[in-house]
Structure 1
């Protein structure tokens, strides 16, 4: 699915060669500053490498429309984004911003259930806790059904027991839709249980992977 060759990015990443397969859960781990978030942002063209090539399904990213690419390869940042309004309005937002068809209330409720967010669609999103906002963001992403889910510490605000429940159900739903997950996590438990492939980024003087 993804192939990276001779990538150099701002002294943070120096990747000779890397492949990430489709329809699998790949976990990125490593110390802070090793370039994990930078790598995710390269994959959906939020960042551009200083040199080297990134391919998606054997197509050079430089040749792809970045907006169309991000609709297929969608990133969830570490800090969940919410707008003032109800949970339903927040779920609708992602669909509206990406020009996707609206979903039914039943589909919204199913997405909330998948991520174990026991809230009403009419509840105020602004008063949710950090962990609840992370789950709301995961539900919103599920509704988009991208080809690739790029997740940056999606369970950072959750305790170990909750993160396993949430991510097990989330990943099962993604796999049912033949999706691919590339996830940054500092949780050894989560990586050990959920990862089908592990990539460890190491911070060195040269920023080598």
Structure 2
């Protein structure tokens, strides 16, 4: 297995998670699977310190999560929640706001249009964000993260509001982005098709515990 981006030691959180030892490899697509309520989203939030473990530790690139400045960490390890965060204004406003929050320079309209194409969204930059559907908002949120170009992406059900064709298109683009730029992607998904096609590493969680790890999903 490749060098780890995350290494979890004796992690416990309420009655939600109990993980003795777990590594998540760098430069790969890791899919976290399991039933609803099994602790997947809690684990994802711990990877960028949105939630602190009650005991144990998470090492991120060899440093304890407690040693990272939270703002610095969340610029390196960017999370997209299952319910997309949208702001008032236009599609362009929503794309640029992530760069502004991260104190990164704005980009050209041509770059914004390119990233919208990458997430299969045919919308004008001046379209109002409140006119977008749930799936369109999800794609704008994903495009915003791609513009940030972080080393690590954490995605919670990024295709939950998308049809199968759009999911496959976006996941192919995401996979190319990760591989070509040596990024690390950790994502929660309920889509067996996504796991089969794109996962390098699979972690299955049940009742807060890791019950299986594998380098590819077994054929059904």
Q: Write the mapping of 1:148-159 to structure 2, written as runs, cut at 5 A.
A: 148-159=152-163
User: Structure 1 residue aligned with 2:50, among 41, 46, 49?
Assistant: 46
**CA shift for structure 1 position 194:** 0.8
- Tell me, yes or no, if structure 1 residue 120 matches structure 2 residue 96: no
1:18 is paired with a residue whose SS is: strand
Indicate if the aligned counterparts of 2:11 and 2:53 stay in contact, CA closer than 8 A: yes
Partners of 2:167 and 2:60 lie apart in 1 by 29
Query: What residue is the counterpart of 1:137 in the other structure?
Result: 141
Indicate if the aligned counterparts of 1:94 and 1:144 stay in contact, CA closer than 8 A: yes
- Tell me, yes or no, if structure 1 residue 71 matches structure 2 residue 75: yes
User: Structure 1 residue aligned with 2:191, among 187, 194, 198?
Assistant: 187
Query: What residue is the counterpart of 1:20 in the other structure?
Result: 24
**CA shift for structure 1 position 182:** 0.1
- How many residue pairs end up in the alignment? 206
What TM-score do you get using the length of structure 2 for normalisation? 0.91
Query: What residue is the counterpart of 2:216 in the other structure?
Result: none
Any unmatched runs of 5+ in structure 2? Answer: 211-220
Partners of 1:131 and 1:146 lie apart in 2 by 23
What TM-score do you get using the length of structure 1 for normalisation? 0.96
Query: What residue is the counterpart of 2:93 in the other structure?
Result: 89
CA deviations on 1:119-168 (whole Å, 9 max, x unpaired) are 11111111111111111111000000111000000000011121111111
C-alpha RMSD of matched pairs (Å): 0.9
Any unmatched runs of 5+ in structure 1? Answer: none
Indicate if the aligned counterparts of 1:142 and 1:174 stay in contact, CA closer than 8 A: no
Query: What residue is the counterpart of 1:33 in the other structure?
Result: 37
CA deviations on 1:56-114 (whole Å, 9 max, x unpaired) are 11111111101100100010000011112111111011011111111111111111010
Partners of 2:200 and 2:194 lie apart in 1 by 11
Could you list the structure 1 runs, at least 4 aligned residues long, displaced by more than 4 angstroms after superposition.
none
- Tell me, yes or no, if structure 1 residue 58 matches structure 2 residue 62: yes
1:62 is paired with a residue whose SS is: helix
Partners of 1:12 and 1:83 lie apart in 2 by 31
